[in-house]
Structure 1
Amino acid sequence: MNSESWKVKLALLLVSSLTIMSMITISASLPDMTKTFSDVPNGGKLVKMVLSFPGLFIALSAIAAGLVIDKIGRLKLLGVALVLYAISGTSGYWLDNLYAILAGRALLGISVGITMTIVTTLVADYYHGKARQKFAGIQIAVMSLAGIIFISLGGILADINWRVPFLLYLFSILIIPFAYLYLKEPLKAEDTHQEVKTVKSPKIIWFVFANVMLMWIMFFIIPIQIPFYLKSIGVEKNSLIGLAIASSTFFSAIGAISFSKIKDKFAFKQIFGLGYLLMAIAYVCIAYGNSYAMVMVAMLLGGLGMGVMIPNANVWVMQLAPLEIRGREIGRLTTFWFMGQFLSPIILLPILDIVTQSQLYLIIAAVLLILSLIMLVFYFMTRKTESVNEL
Structure 2
Amino acid sequence: MENNRAKRKIGNAGIAAIMLISSLTVMVGNAITPALPELGQVYGLGNYASWLVTAPALGVVATAILFGRLIDKKGPYIVAFLGLLFYGIFGIAGAYMPTAAGIFIDRFFLGAATAAIMNASVALIASFFHGEKQLRVIAMQGMSMEFGGVIFLSISGVLADISWQCPFYIYGLGFLALLFLLLFVPAGRQQAEPGEEQVEQETQGSGKGVPIPLVLLIAFLGMLMFFTAMVSLPIYLQTTLGYSPSFTGYYLAALDLIAVLATGFMPNIVKKIKEKGCLTIAFCCYGIAFLLYALSGSAVVLWIAVFFAGLGFGFSTPLFNSLIVNKSTLEKKGINISFCTMAMFSGQFLSALLVSVLTGRPLFLAAAIIAAVIAVCVLPVAGRYAHKA
- TM-score for both structures, normalised by structure 2: 0.90
Distance in 1 of aligned mates of 2:27 and 2:373: 30
Pairing 1:367–2:370 present: yes
Aligned residue type for 1:125: S
Distance in 2 of aligned mates of 1:122 and 1:175: 14
2:201 aligns with: none
* Pairing partner for 1:36 from 42, 46, 71: 42
Distance in 2 of aligned mates of 1:110 and 1:244: 28
Aligned residue type for 2:15: K
1:193 aligns with: none
- Contact in 2 for aligned 1:30/1:48 (Cα 8 Å): yes
- Contact in 1 for aligned 2:32/2:168 (Cα 8 Å): yes
How far the C-alpha of 1:312 sits from its partner, in A, is 1.3
In the TM superposition, what whole-angstrom CA distance separates every residue of 1:134-174 from its partner, at most 9, and x where no partner exists? 11111111111111011110000000111111011111111
- Contact in 2 for aligned 1:253/1:307 (Cα 8 Å): yes
Check 1:85–1:140 CA distance in 2 against 1; reply closer, same or farther (3 A cut). same
Pairing 1:222–2:229 present: yes
* Pairing partner for 1:294 from 281, 292, 301: 301
1:231 aligns with: 238
Aligned residue type for 2:21: V
* Pairing partner for 2:12 from 6, 21, 28: 6
Matches within 5 A, 1:88-237: 88-187=90-189, 202=207, 204-237=211-244
How far the C-alpha of 1:292 sits from its partner, in A, is 3.1
Aligned length: 369
Alpha-carbon RMSD across the aligned residues, in angstroms, is: 2.0
2:194 aligns with: none
Aligned residue type for 1:15: I
Distance in 2 of aligned mates of 1:201 and 1:24: 36
Matches within 5 A, 1:240-389: 240-352=247-359, 357-384=360-387
1:196 aligns with: none
How far the C-alpha of 1:235 sits from its partner, in A, is 2.9
Check 1:46–1:349 CA distance in 2 against 1; reply closer, same or farther (3 A cut). closer
- Contact in 2 for aligned 1:16/1:119 (Cα 8 Å): yes
Check 1:20–1:379 CA distance in 2 against 1; reply closer, same or farther (3 A cut). closer
Aligned residue type for 1:51: V
Aligned residue type for 2:166: V
How far the C-alpha of 1:114 sits from its partner, in A, is 0.4
* Pairing partner for 2:86 from 81, 84, 87: 84
Aligned residue type for 1:11: A
In the TM superposition, what whole-angstrom CA distance separates every residue of 1:269-304 from its partner, at most 9, and x where no partner exists? 222111100100001111112123322221110111
* Pairing partner for 2:63 from 61, 75, 97: 61
Q: Aligned with 1:185: secondary structure?
A: coil
Check 1:342–1:201 CA distance in 2 against 1; reply closer, same or farther (3 A cut). farther
- Contact in 1 for aligned 2:232/2:355 (Cα 8 Å): no
Pairing 1:25–2:28 present: no
How far the C-alpha of 1:3 sits from its partner, in A, is 4.4
Check 1:282–1:178 CA distance in 2 against 1; reply closer, same or farther (3 A cut). same
How far the C-alpha of 1:360 sits from its partner, in A, is 1.9
Distance in 2 of aligned mates of 1:368 and 1:232: 25
In the TM superposition, what whole-angstrom CA distance separates every residue of 1:17-71 from its partner, at most 9, and x where no partner exists? 1103311111000011112223xxxx12442111100001111211110111101
Q: Aligned with 1:264: secondary structure?
A: helix
Q: Aligned with 1:258: secondary structure?
A: helix
Distance in 2 of aligned mates of 1:206 and 1:19: 23
Check 1:337–1:359 CA distance in 2 against 1; reply closer, same or farther (3 A cut). same
Aligned residue type for 1:222: A
How far the C-alpha of 1:200 sits from its partner, in A, is 7.3
2:199 aligns with: none
Distance in 1 of aligned mates of 2:385 and 2:288: 26
- TM-score for both structures, normalised by structure 1: 0.90
- Contact in 2 for aligned 1:235/1:241 (Cα 8 Å): no
Q: Aligned with 1:184: secondary structure?
A: coil
Q: Identity of aligned pairs, percent?
A: 25
Instruction: Select between 5-14 and 228-237 the one with higher mean Cα deviation.
Output: 228-237
Distance in 2 of aligned mates of 1:9 and 1:173: 17
How far the C-alpha of 1:79 sits from its partner, in A, is 2.2
Instruction: Select between 201-210 and 275-284 the one with higher mean Cα deviation.
Output: 201-210
Distance in 1 of aligned mates of 2:381 and 2:131: 25
Distance in 1 of aligned mates of 2:11 and 2:246: 37
How far the C-alpha of 1:93 sits from its partner, in A, is 1.6
How far the C-alpha of 1:131 sits from its partner, in A, is 0.5
Extract unaligned runs of 5+ from structure 2. Answer: 1-6, 192-203
* Pairing partner for 2:21 from 15, 26, 31: 15
